[in-house]
Amino acid sequence: MQFENTLEFARKLDAEDNLKKYREEFHFPKVNDEQVIYFTGNSLGLQPKRTKKYIDEVMTDWKELAVEGHFYAEKPWWDYHERLAAPLAKIVGAKTNEVTVMNTLTVNLHLLLVSFYQPKGERFKILCEEKAFPSDQYMLRSQVRFHGFDPTEAIVEVNKRKGEHFWRTEDIVKKIEEVGDELALVLIGGVNYYNGQVFDMETITKAGHEVGAKVGWDLAHAVGNIALQLHDWKVDFAAWCSYKYMNSGPGNASGVFINEKYLGKKGIQRFEGWWGTKKETRFLMKPEFEPMENADAWQLSNAPVLSVAPYLASLSMFDEVGMEALIEKRNKIVAYLEFILHEIDKEVDTTFEIITPKERGTQLSVFLHGEGRSIFDYLMKNGVITDWREPNVIRLAPAPFYCSYEDMYRFGQILKNGILKK
Ligand SMILES: *Cc1c(COP(=O)(O)O)cnc(C)c1O
C-alpha cells in the first residue's frame, strides 16, 4: 500500500480499520484537554472501560457474601483463576492445561527455575542475551549464586555484533553449541524490551534441546503482541506479566506456561503450596501434596482475585478480537508509523535511525541523532506519551487495540514541530 503523510489519508485508514471501535473501550489520559497519543502500551497498557465492572463484581460479592464468596460468588473465587487459562492458552499457543496465572513475573521466573534450573556436574551454565531486562539479570545471578556458582562463570551472554543493534539467530545457536554439555538452561526475553526484536524462539529452543539444555522464555514484551506457539515449539516453560500489552493494570498477575510433558508428575522439583494440590481433596487438609494435573500444580497461594479480575476483563477483549486481527492491524499501523518517521526525517536535520530489526512486533526503537531529552519533554508536554532511554532512544509502541492511524500522523507533526522549534 502506498501511504501518505496527510491527515486525510490517516483518517481514511481509521475509517477502514476493523478494530476502530475498540479505541472507545479504553480510558485515555488527557493533556491540554485532549486524549494523549499513547505509545507506552509496552510498559503499561491503558485501562479497558469494562475492567471496573469485573472488579466491582468481586467487591460486591465480598461485601454481600464474605467468606461464602469462595464458593457462592457469581464467579466463585476458589477456582476463579481457572477462567483465564483457556483464553490465555489461545494467545500463547498452548494447551489449556499448560497455562496458569499466579504471582508476578519475576517471582514466577524464580519459581520456574526451581524446576528447570538444576545444575548437575559440568552442566551448570545459563545462556541469556546481553543486557537482558535488569530484573531478569538479578534473578539469574541470584539463582546461580544460590546454587553456589559464580555468575561471571555460570552466566553466558550472547552479544550483538559490533556496530549492530540486534542479535543474530546464528550467533545465539553457535554460542549454545559452544557451551554444549555445560549448558543447563537457555532463558531469553522473547521480544527484547530495548530494541523490540522478536527472537526466533523455535530455532533457539531446538538448539538448546539439542545440547541437552532446558529452554524457557520471558514473554513480558511478547504476549498480546506477537504470534506464539509455545506448545509446538516445544518450549519447556515461559512466564509473562499482564500489565504491558495485556492491559490488566499496574503490577498485575503473571501468566505461566509449563510444557505438558512436565504435568501430572510427582518427581519434579517444585516449591509447593496448597493451591497446587488436587482441588478434589484440597479442603480435606491432608498432609500429602497431590499435584494438580495441570500447570496449577505450580500455584502456591489462593488466587489474588482482585488482581485476577482485571486480567479476566482484558482476556475477554482479546478473546473477542483474536490475535490474528490484532497482528494484522499491528503490522499496518507500525508500517505507517515507520513511513511517517521517514517522511519527517526528510524535513528536519535530525537523523532518525530505527534500530528495531525487521523481526518485530508493535515496538519501534528509534535513535534521534542530535536530539536530547528536551525533545522527549516537548512530546510529553504536547500529549505524546513515549518512553525515553538514554542517550537518545525513544521507544514507540502503538498498541493496535487502541491506537489510531490519526495518532501516527499527529505524532509526526508534533515531532517535527518539536525539532524545528529548537
Ligand atoms: C516488564 C518486564 C519485567 C517486569 O517484571 P515484574 O516482576 O513484573 O516487575 C521483567 N522482565 C522483562 C523482560 C520485562 O519486560
What are the tens digits of pLDDT across the range 233-285? 999 999 999 999 999 999 999 999 999 999 998 789 999 999 999 998 888 88
pLDDT at 37 over 80: yes
Ligand 1 mean position, distance from CA 106 (Å)? 6
Separation of alpha carbons 319 and 309, rounded Å = 15
The answer to whether 243 is annotated as binding is yes
> Which grid coordinates belong to 211?
545440547
Nearest CA owner, ligand 1 atom 13: 133
Separation of alpha carbons 276 and 113, rounded Å = 17
pLDDT at 416 over 90: yes
Average pLDDT, the chain: 96
Ligand 1 mean position, distance from CA 67 (Å)? 33
Q: Count Cβ neighbours within 10 Å for each residue of 247-283 and write b for 16 or more, e otherwise.
A: bbbeebbbbbbbbeebbeeeebebeeeebbbbeeebe
Is the CB of 135 inside a 6 Å radius of any atom of ligand 1? yes
The answer to whether 135 is annotated as binding is yes
pLDDT at 316 over 80: yes
Q: Count Cβ neighbours within 10 Å for each residue of 201-229 and write b for 16 or more, e otherwise.
A: beebbebbbebebbbbbbbbbbbbbbebe
Nearest CA owner, ligand 1 atom 2: 220
Which atom of ligand 1 lies closest to the CA of 244? 1
Residue-range domain boundaries for the chain: 7-35+322-420, 53-321
Specify the CATH architecture of the domain 53-321: 3-Layer(aba) Sandwich (3.40)
The answer to whether 307 is annotated as binding is no
Distance of CA 393 to the CA centre of its chain: 20
Q: Span 7-35+322-420: which CATH code?
A: 3.90.1150.10
Is the CB of 397 inside a 6 Å radius of any atom of ligand 1? no
Separation of alpha carbons 156 and 141, rounded Å = 11
The answer to whether 302 is annotated as binding is yes
- What pLDDT sits at residue 421? 85
